Each structure stands twice: as structure tokens, then as C-alpha cells.
Amino acid sequence: MKKINYGIDAPQVIRNLLIIGFIALVFSFFPPDLSPPVSAFIRYTFLMPGLSLIAAGGLMYGYARWGKSKHRDRLLNLYAWKGNEKVLDVGTGLGLLMIGVAKRLTTGTCYGIDIFNAYDLSDNAIEQTKINAELENVLQKVHILNENILKTSFEDNSFDVVVSNLCLHNIYDSTGRAQACREIVRILKMNGTVILSDFKNMDEYQTTFEQLGMNVRKAGTYFLTTFPPLTVIIATKQ
């Protein structure tokens, strides 16, 4: 049966945090039978790291399971939609932002591009993204493409709005991330808007956009409802 599935972000990272945290707690509660001071040292040394790792894994899972729709809505509420925009979601994955955008469009279209890396998102596959769009009744308003943001097939000045959540940090070198920002600016129309959300490298994106002549402002960092805490920047092409 077809079912909506927006996936769990970085599932292997969550698994590793929980496993290592659990092992640390086992050491803390059942320290090796050594001299009492050494056992006490092991007990206290492993306690806080164990609890922290399990908490981090749990919070990441919580965001992926229950927090991301709320974050998506908050992000999309930062823009005054007319309904006729041509929009791109960079690293759409299972279509979270792309589908949210499509629901706000009337005559407009939303493209979602991704390389569908399963390490970054569980069940990450173009077929499931299409199923999600179909079940959310927006299939006719979206185009889902297997493309890398480092070099896309889009013409210069194609999009009114580019949105992206938790994608660019997956490009591991800063040269690549700067290239991704350049590509976003290239395919964005004059006066177009970028809404970018991620948990690290935000100053780097801001600097690159500013060097490319964009007007950039920070919308905020959301500590209570996202984990790792996500920061959002809004950039306008001038």
C-alpha cells in the first residue's frame, strides 16, 4: 500500500549516537571490577557522555519524526506567496519542502532536485518522492529530478524562489559548498529569494551570497523545535 513517508534524516548518525551512548552507559553502570577508585572514575567518566549521546540521538529522531513539518511551515511562512511562482527545492529528498511549496501555489510550479543519497535520509528514492506528491495531491504541480546542485541543467535566471533544508552541509568541502551557492544564484531570477536552512556553515553561505551581490538576513535559529538547531537565512538577488 502507498504511504506518505518523509524519512528520518541522517539515520546512521542517529543509530551510531544511540549505540555509542548505550555502550558508554553500560560502562558507567557496570564498570569493570578494578580497584574502587578506578571503577568510580570509569563510572563517572562515562555517565555524562553516554546520556548526552543518547539525548542527541533521541532529539534528532524527534525532529525527523515530529518536528520537520512544523519547521517546513515556519520556513515557508517567511515568504509572501502569490501562487504563480516557479520554485526550486534543493535537496528535496522525499519532497518535504517541495510539497509544502506546491500546496501554496495555484498556477506556479515547484521543482525538486536531489541525488537521493540514502545515507542522508532514510528511504530516499525518487519513486517514494513521487508517491508522497501523489498522496498529497500536488503531483501535477511538481517536477522531481535527479540532479546535483553543484551543476544543474537549469537556465540562468529560472526561479522566483529557491528553498533548501538540511542539504548543503552534505557537500563536504567548502569549495563545493561555495559552488552550490553560486549555482543557486545563477539560476535565481533578479529580485528572486533564497530561503536556506541548515545546522552548520551558515556564515559561510551568508558570506558567499553577499560576495555574489545578494542582500542577506538571518531569520533565526530554532533551538527548541529543531535538532541539531537549524538556522535560516533569507537572501535576495539584486
Ligand X SMILES: C[S@@+](CC[C@H](N)C(=O)[O-])C[C@H]1O[C@@H](n2cnc3c(N)ncnc32)[C@H](O)[C@@H]1O
Which listed residue (11, 93, 100, 192) binds ligand X by CB under 6 A? 93
115 binds ligand X (CB under 6 A): yes
198 binds ligand X (CB under 6 A): no
Non-local (6+) Cβ contacts of 53 within 8 A are 17, 18, 20, 21, 24
114 binds ligand X (CB under 6 A): yes
Q: CA-based angle 219:82:188, to the nearest 5?
A: 65
Supply the minimum distance, in Å, between the C-beta of residue 189 and ligand X. Answer: 20
Single-letter amino acid, residue 100: G
Supply the minimum distance, in Å, between the C-beta of residue 32 and ligand X. Answer: 39
Supply the minimum distance, in Å, between the C-beta of residue 198 and ligand X. Answer: 9
**229 upstream amide cis, omega within 30 of 0:** no
* Residue (43 or 130) nearer to ligand X, CB: 130
63 binds ligand X (CB under 6 A): no
Up-side HSE of residue 193: CA atoms within 13 Å toward CB?
Answer: 12
Residue 47, CA distances (Å) to 18, 58, 59, 138, 202 in order: 14, 17, 18, 48, 32
* Residue (23 or 150) nearer to ligand X, CB: 150
* Range in contact with ligand X (rule: CB under 6 A) among 25-33, 43-51, 136-144, 165-173: 165-173
* Range in contact with ligand X (rule: CB under 6 A) among 76-84, 113-121, 153-161, 187-195: 113-121
Q: Coil, strand or helix: which one is 73?
A: helix
149 binds ligand X (CB under 6 A): yes
Supply the minimum distance, in Å, between the C-beta of residue 85 and ligand X. Answer: 18
Dihedral sign computed on CA atoms, order 136, 139, 143, 145 = positive
Nearest to 103 by CA among 67, 132, 71, 126: 132
Size, binding site for ligand X by CB under 6 A: 24
183 binds ligand X (CB under 6 A): no
Supply the minimum distance, in Å, between the C-beta of residue 68 and ligand X. Answer: 6
9 binds ligand X (CB under 6 A): yes
Which listed residue (61, 63, 111, 116) binds ligand X by CB under 6 A? 116
Note the residue count of the chain.
238
Residue 145, CA distances (Å) to 88, 152, 158, 170 in order: 11, 10, 15, 18
Supply the minimum distance, in Å, between the C-beta of residue 114 and ligand X. Answer: 4
Q: Residues interacting with ligand X, by CB under 6 A? A: 6, 9, 68, 91-93, 96-97, 113-117, 120-121, 124, 148-150, 165-167, 170-171
